[in-house]
Structure 1
Amino acid sequence: MVNAHPTGGWFIHGPARPGRLRLICFPHGGGAPAEFARWSRRLPGVEISAVQLPGRGSRLSEPVLTRMGEVVAEVAEVLPTDAPYAVFGHSLGALMGYEVTRQLRRTGRRLPEQLIVSGFPAPSTPRTEPPIHHLPDDDLLTEVAHRHGGLPTGILDDPERKATVARYLRADYQILETYEWRADAPLPVPLTAFGGREDTIGADALRAWRAHVTGEIDLRCFPGGHFYFRQHQAMVLRALATVTRTAVPGDRAA
């Protein structure tokens, strides 16, 4: 069972588990937070809250956000840091989780016990793919499917659904394609990088996250492509359970 957050709809929650480590999940571009909240069934050791951005799901009528700065400011404002927590982000969600963590440090808030990034190169890595957020809907969706797959079946055959998905995918790609990394001190947070062995984002790109934290990183690669966690969910969630168990609660305020 998943539930919308009572204040503003910013989170979709798994079952409440008082006293357990909270796992904040940032979905990939176009991703549904409910997919990550459902991980609760196989992760009884954590309490999951997945970020739901405006313009999708129960927030479909709200204006989308199109700049990373907007996302970071809004999410950091509502993210619960009163108790120990970890952050997981996949693809664009990894970049969002990282930037939100940097914002929390700037404002003196409690930092996560663990930052888990998935399927995304280090933020300082120059982008080489041409921008696509300006493309017409059909072309945008076709290019997204070509790059990563993962689009709902039959979406191009349903005009209303196609327009809805294209709207928030366009916003997500605009966030990514207008993002500019700004150098700052490495984060004093343990970092684990997950990835698929058949993904175009390889182990070297994941290892490059080492430059963005003060300690070593834990690299874990799984069979599968960009959405490896769908192809091998049980294996991935066992690894995620291990990683979150090693997060020792404590005060990591900067």
Structure 2
Amino acid sequence: MTATRSRWLLCRRRRPGAASRLYCFPHSGGAAGEYVRWSDALPGTEVWGVQPPGRGGRLAEPAFDSMAALVEAVVGEAAFEPPYTLFGHSLGALVAYETALLLRERGLPAPERLILSAYGSPYLHRPGEPVHELGDTALMEAVERAYGPLPDAVREDAELRSLVLGGLRADLAIVATYRPAPAVPLDIPITVVGGADDAESPERLVAWHGLTTGPFDLRLFPGGHFYFRERSDELMRFLAERA
């Protein structure tokens, strides 16, 4: 059974005695459900998925299309319970980083660690083509070229397709318009993970090391952008040592 703590946080297994909590930010078009399943493989950790509007059980809600507005809402609504670690995959890595910066600015409890997956340093961020401005058919084709086929239900159900593409379009708008402000480095450990065959180069991943005065480590797993779907056991063992 999935528990909630505000609309923003989902948890599959509450563990009041857990030594730590892991809060996971989803990728573009992703939802918390993919990440809360990790609780089965992390028995010592209480795993939460961050669920912004426009996905999962909040699919019908308008999605945020700017980083600043999204992070402001996350910090205002999510109420992370320490001790905790933030994990983010792809777009989620950028959101996790910006969340840590805003938490520091507000004087709120900081994460013990950031674990950032499959996205290079935001200060090397290269906004790509404005994919979010494409029509539905062209957008689906672009997404499938990059990440693989969309579910048949999305293709066959016009109403569902409209909702899914609306949230995805908003996420892609965040990526296209994001411009990180200069920031003082964090003072917490940063761990970066990624797929060895992903388009995101190791050089861009390792550049995160300049954004903290704390420890830094990088681990590449076999696979592409969604390496953790193929190498779940390996990633879970790695996270168990750090989350």
TM over 0.5: yes
Tell me the distance in 2 between the aligned counterparts of 1:52 and 1:185.
Answer: 28
**1:146 Cα deviation from its structure 2 partner:** 1.2
Distance 1:19 1:181, change over 3 A: same
Partner of 1:250: none
Distance 2:106 2:127 in 1: 32
Q: 1:32 to 1:81 in 2, by over 3 A?
A: closer
Change (3 A) 1:17 1:61: same
Give runs of aligned pairs for residues 186-205 of structure 1, distance below 5 A.
Answer: 186-205=185-204
Whole-Å separation in 2 of the counterparts to 1:126 and 1:93: 14
Alpha-carbon separation, structure 1, partners of 2:23 and 2:81 = 13
Q: Which residue of 2 aligns with 1:13?
A: 11
CA contact (8 A) 2:53 2:64 kept: yes
| Number of positions where the alignment pairs a residue of Structure 1 with one of Structure 2 | 242
Q: Give the 3-state SS of the residue equivalent to 2:87 in structure 1.
A: strand
Structure 1: gaps spanning 5 or more residues: 245-254
Q: Which residue of 2 aligns with 1:251?
A: none
* Range with bigger deviation, 140-149 or 111-120: 140-149
Letter in 2 for 1:242: E
| CA-CA distance at 1:82 after TM superposition | 4.2
Q: Which runs of 5+ in 2 are unaligned?
A: none
Percent of aligned pairs with the same amino acid: 43
Alpha-carbon distance in structure 2 between the residues aligned to 1:96 and 1:128: 15
Aligned structure 1 segments of 4 or more residues deviating by more than 6 angstroms:
none
Between Structure 1 and Structure 2, which shows a larger proportion of helix residues? 2
In the alignment, is the contact (CA less than 8 A) between 2:8 and 2:52 conserved in 1? Answer: yes
- Give 3-state SS (helix, strand or coil) of 1:94's partner: helix
Q: Find the aligned partners of 2:94 and 2:152 in 1 and give their Cα distance.
A: 27
Aligned-residue offset at 1:150: 6.2
Q: What's the CA shift for 1:78?
A: 2.2
Contact (CA 8 Å) 1:138, 1:156: kept in 2 or not? no
**Which secondary structure does the structure 2 equivalent of 1:29 belong to?**
coil
Contact 1:2 1:38 in 2 (8 A): no
- The residue that corresponds to 1:226 in the other structure is 225
Please tell me the root mean square deviation across aligned C-alpha atoms, in Å. Answer: 1.5
Contact 1:2–1:34 at 8 Å: present in 2 too?
no
TM-score of the pair, normalised by structure 2: 0.95
Partner of 1:102: 101
Q: What one-letter code is carried by the residue in structure 2 that aligns with 1:156?
A: R
